[in-house]
Amino acid sequence: MQLKQALASAVDRLEAADVGSPRMNAEGLLMFVLGVSRAYLYAHPERELTSEEETRYDEVLAQRATGMPSQYITGHQEFWGLDFVVSPAVLIPRPETEHLVETVLDLARDVPRPRIVDVGTGSGCIALALAYELQSAEVYAVDVSADALEIARANAARLQLDGRVRFAHCNVLAAVAGATSAMTFAGFDFVVSNPPYVGFGEADKVQKSVRDFEPRVAVFAGEQGLDVIGPLVRQAHKALQQDGWLTVEIGYSMRDVVLNLLDPTMWDDVRVVPDLQGIPRVVAARKS
Ligand SMILES: C[S@@+](CC[C@H](N)C(=O)[O-])C[C@H]1O[C@@H](n2cnc3c(N)ncnc32)[C@H](O)[C@@H]1O
């Protein structure tokens, strides 16, 4: 079968399966299977696929037709201009999380050797982007999921940042029983987090592909969605030094709930940073 025929039938197949942007997906998956660029697809429409390539393309299209995100099929997602490997053990890094990185970089400008801990690191995208940008920073990254930490460590090695970020298996900022590297979290300049924040009762408000394929522990946090962010606010206060910053990504419509968690006798200079659509996306608060 020629490349252009394979593409045309893939577009029809993904359309029939209700996959959004079927052409872009069909092209992306063919690029992945053949290991070529989009330009190559356009330049060689008559190239014949080998039977192995046809079979492999058929397999990945079948996966995509179930609704599986293409990033879990190709195993990659770009974040902050860096290439991250991803698996179903980690949340796929989202572009809006770059606002959290920007917020920390803004606040860290005048801190000579910032000590930073990223809580719920997942793929490691936030911790590694910060380590990449802030050459003198001391960066820690923790997660309650041992499988996620494995992916984060692999990303650190691939990006040659493994000497710069230390990883630990923790429930928020408390080492979990049996964790190999116990750390004491104190004296930080930044506690950074994109925590899970969806309540169990709000599952129907989450995209189906997120519900069906992304890790539950990365998305949901108890009945109200506050089971991680609540302890995080309390523990961050202990982990930060005076004038240190808590910076947290928040969900759509969570602004007031999160602001309510910040006791004004313990936090000052509370800021809310909107994303490009004007939706409150990051809350930053300084330990007073
Ligand atoms: C929304 S994902 C964010 C992942 C990554 N930081 C990002 O922005 O793409 C939340 C992460 O928090 C982790 N997590 C959930 N509950 C946790 C807890 N109690 N303590 C530490 N990490 C937790 C999950 O395993 C998941 O990796």
Q: Is the CB of 145 under 6 A from ligand 1?
A: yes
Q: Is the CB of 235 under 6 A from ligand 1?
A: no
Q: Is the CB of 125 under 6 A from ligand 1?
A: yes
What does the alpha-carbon distance between residue 22 and residue 1 come to, in Å, rounded to a whole number? 20
CA–centroid distance, 111 to ligand 1, in Å, is 26
**CA-closest residue to ligand 1 atom 24:** 218
Q: Is the CB of 121 under 6 A from ligand 1?
A: yes
Report the DSSP beta bridge partners of residue 84: 77
> What DSSP string runs through 222-244?
TTTS-TTHHHHHHHHHHHEEEEE
**CA-closest residue to ligand 1 atom 14:** 120
The amino acid at residue 166 is R
pLDDT in tens, 78-93: 999 999 999 999 999 9
What does the alpha-carbon distance between residue 40 and residue 28 come to, in Å, rounded to a whole number? 12
User: Is the pTM for the entire model greater than 0.85?
Assistant: yes
**CA-closest residue to ligand 1 atom 7:** 93
pLDDT in tens, 121-131: 999 999 999 99
What does the alpha-carbon distance between residue 51 and residue 35 come to, in Å, rounded to a whole number? 16
CA–centroid distance, 217 to ligand 1, in Å, is 7
Q: Is the CB of 194 under 6 A from ligand 1?
A: yes
Tokens matching residue 118: 């990223």
Strand duo 138-143 + 115-119: pairing? parallel
Among residues 179, 153, 171, the alpha carbon closest in space to that of 230 is found at 171
To the nearest 10°, report the CA torsion of 119, 124, 126, 132: 130
Asked if 139 contacts 106 with a C-beta cutoff of 8 angstroms, the reply is: no
CA–centroid distance, 123 to ligand 1, in Å, is 9
What does the alpha-carbon distance between residue 239 and residue 233 come to, in Å, rounded to a whole number? 10
Q: Is the CB of 143 under 6 A from ligand 1?
A: yes
How does pLDDT run along the chain (288 residues), one tens digit per residue?
999 999 999 999 999 999 999 999 999 999 999 999 999 999 999 999 999 999 999 999 999 999 999 999 999 999 999 999 999 999 999 999 999 999 999 999 989 999 999 999 999 999 999 999 999 999 999 999 999 999 999 999 999 999 999 999 999 998 766 666 556 788 999 999 999 999 999 888 899 999 999 999 999 999 999 999 999 999 999 999 999 999 999 988 889 999 999 999 999 999 999 999 999 999 999 999
| Closest approach atom of ligand 1 to CA 122 | 27
**CA-closest residue to ligand 1 atom 2:** 218
CA–centroid distance, 118 to ligand 1, in Å, is 9
Residues in the chain, overall count: 288
Q: Is the CB of 101 under 6 A from ligand 1?
A: no
Asked if 229 contacts 195 with a C-beta cutoff of 8 angstroms, the reply is: yes
SS3 276: coil
SS3 209: helix
Q: Is the CB of 117 under 6 A from ligand 1?
A: no
202 contacts: CB under 8 Å, gap ≥ 6: 225
| Closest approach atom of ligand 1 to CA 121 | 6
**CA-closest residue to ligand 1 atom 19:** 171
What does the alpha-carbon distance between residue 218 and residue 214 come to, in Å, rounded to a whole number? 7
The amino acid at residue 139 is V
Asked if 91 contacts 218 with a C-beta cutoff of 8 angstroms, the reply is: yes
Can you list the alpha helix ranges (DSSP code H) found in 75-142?
Answer: 98-108, 125-133
